Amino acid sequence: MKRLKSWHAAALLGLTISAVAFWGFEKGESRDFQIAKNLDIFNSIIKELDMFYVDTLNPDKTIRDGIDNMLYSLDPYTVYYPEDDREELEQMLRNKYGGIGSIITWNEQLKRSVISEPYEGMPAAEVGLKVGDILMELDGVDLLGKDNQQVSEMLRGDAGTSFTLKVQRPGEKNLLTFNIVRKYIELPLIPYYAKLDEGIGYINLTTFSGNPSKEFKRVFQELKAQGINGLIIDLRGNGGGLLDEAIEIANFFVPKGQTLVTTRGKTRQASETYKTLRDPLDLDIPIAVLVNSGTASSSEILAGSLQDLDRAVIIGTRTYGKGLVQTTRPLPYGGTIKLTTSKYYIPSGRCVQAIDYSHRNTDGSVGRIPDSLTTVFHTAAGREVRDGGGVNPDIVVEQKQTPNIIYYLSRDNLIFDYATDFCIKHKKVAPAQDFVLSDKDYEEFKEKVKAANFKYDQQSEKLLKDLKAMAEFEGYKQDAEAEFEALEKKLQHNLDRDLDFFAEDIKPLISVEIMKRFYYQRGGIIEQLKDDPDLAKAKEVLSDATKYKSILTPQS
């Protein structure tokens, strides 16, 4: 008999046998019997492997790998957390953890982690860590070769505990030493809000974990006191969080007693109806909600509910499409399972779930539900909306395609490193609202890129190469040789030309990196909003009452 080659394969085989038998049980056999039978088979396989397999079995790793793969075959949101990982689950639910409060990034050339974004007011920023600082030692342990996950785990710990961190700062000869006391890090819920020049309020909401509704209420009331005449809620990149928080924020703008979400699952506990419980803050202010493919889960509940109730104009690109609800259940030995227990349905009756995890391709992949299989629903006013594909905006804003060169500049950390050099040379810069990267600064960036011997793949060159190969295969190459040679000359790699041609795409990315170093996350957002087509469209709609009303009115 052919031996299994690894513990991982053994565990997967055992769980696959269990899963296949579990879902494909024979006629006449009860479900309870099938469950008991397959659990017995699984236990027997583990015992046989432990006793007879050629190598010593690591039961924790083998069985954990099997569990993780079995759960992932259901959907990516059903996850097992053993006792050792409970802190990770609690951090996700509470949106806070014990640590230094900084994003770190991996530098492939250095084989070390680097500070990439310290949060304002958190320990990393308070002790003076800066973007670009290279992490060298933590309590005497060399961090060379340790990946971001390993370093992140070392940086985290109970609030109040301390450690010593040594870093190499670009431009400094000697290592810098910092004594850091960890504290509970609550990620920014609303990193930026403002009354814009047009008298329109803007609120950037990053998550529904923690208690963002309380902060949102405070910010909105502050903006109202400043006399705003419209509101933009930016949910782009907001991956969701707590269902109750999304309902609470929607309640600020819709009447008390309005049904916002209905969940339907296998058990009675998983099927609930959620209504607004309080009097609203404002039923009349015009609202625009910005969304994109990173808008998911609770963010889609807020955006979709306001759309279904004709309470806001949705602007941007189609949202992610996560219409599944997860709850946690305790397991033996301190473990927890976060599992999908129901689907949610917003006021029109539609579910935004865009991926059918119950039907997989032969390679195990899953795809989005085709538009042809979606169903038409109607908003409160009678406008058509569809299920099965996220929230489709009322106004779709075409997004500019990112040039290929930007991917390679980012991959090689050239934009990141230039911003670090810029901050070494400039101790102060203009406020984020007024900052402009000069032509001289961009010329310095170009020189840095050329000095780095920067190379990147041009898609046009690749396509031309493929076209020549196909023309040769089909017998056309000889007749078109002169045309191919002329085209090759025009498509020759010219870095100077490319950096100039794509300057208007590259400059904003450099400016964002610089602003994050001087003004943290808030500065980066301000810079991004300067040339934001979604924001421009939202301001245009909110400034035109007739247009706003027509969008929310069914078309004949």
Strand ranges, E, within 269-422: 272-275, 287-291, 313-316, 324-330, 336-345, 376-378, 384-386, 395-396
Is 297 among the catalytic positions?
yes
Residue type, 311: R
Question: CA-to-CA distance for 388 and 369, rounded, in angstroms?
Answer: 6
Which residue pairs from 324-331 have beta carbons closer than 8 angstroms and sit at least 24 positions apart in sequence? 324/75, 324/77, 324/353, 325/243, 325/263, 325/265, 325/270, 326/77, 326/78, 327/270, 328/89, 328/93, 331/80
CA distance 405 to 182: 39
Distance from the Cα of residue 61 to its chain's centroid:
28
Active-site hit among 213, 297, 342, 511: 297
| Helix residue ranges, H only, 327-378 | none
Catalytic residue among 183, 322, 516, 537: 322
Contact present, 528 and 512 (Cβ < 8 Å): yes
Query: Of 234, 308, 394, 498, which residue is the catalytic one?
Result: 308
* CA 419 to mean position of chain CA atoms: 24
550 by Cβ neighbours in 10 Å (0-12 / 13-18 / 19+) ranks as exposed
Burial class (CB in 10 A: 0-12, 13-18, 19+), 510: buried
What secondary structure letter does DSSP report for 397?
P
Q: Which two tokens stand for residue 222?
A: 């502050």
* Rounded-to-integer distance, Cα 195 and Cα 285, Å: 14
Q: Could you list the active site residues?
A: 297, 308, 322
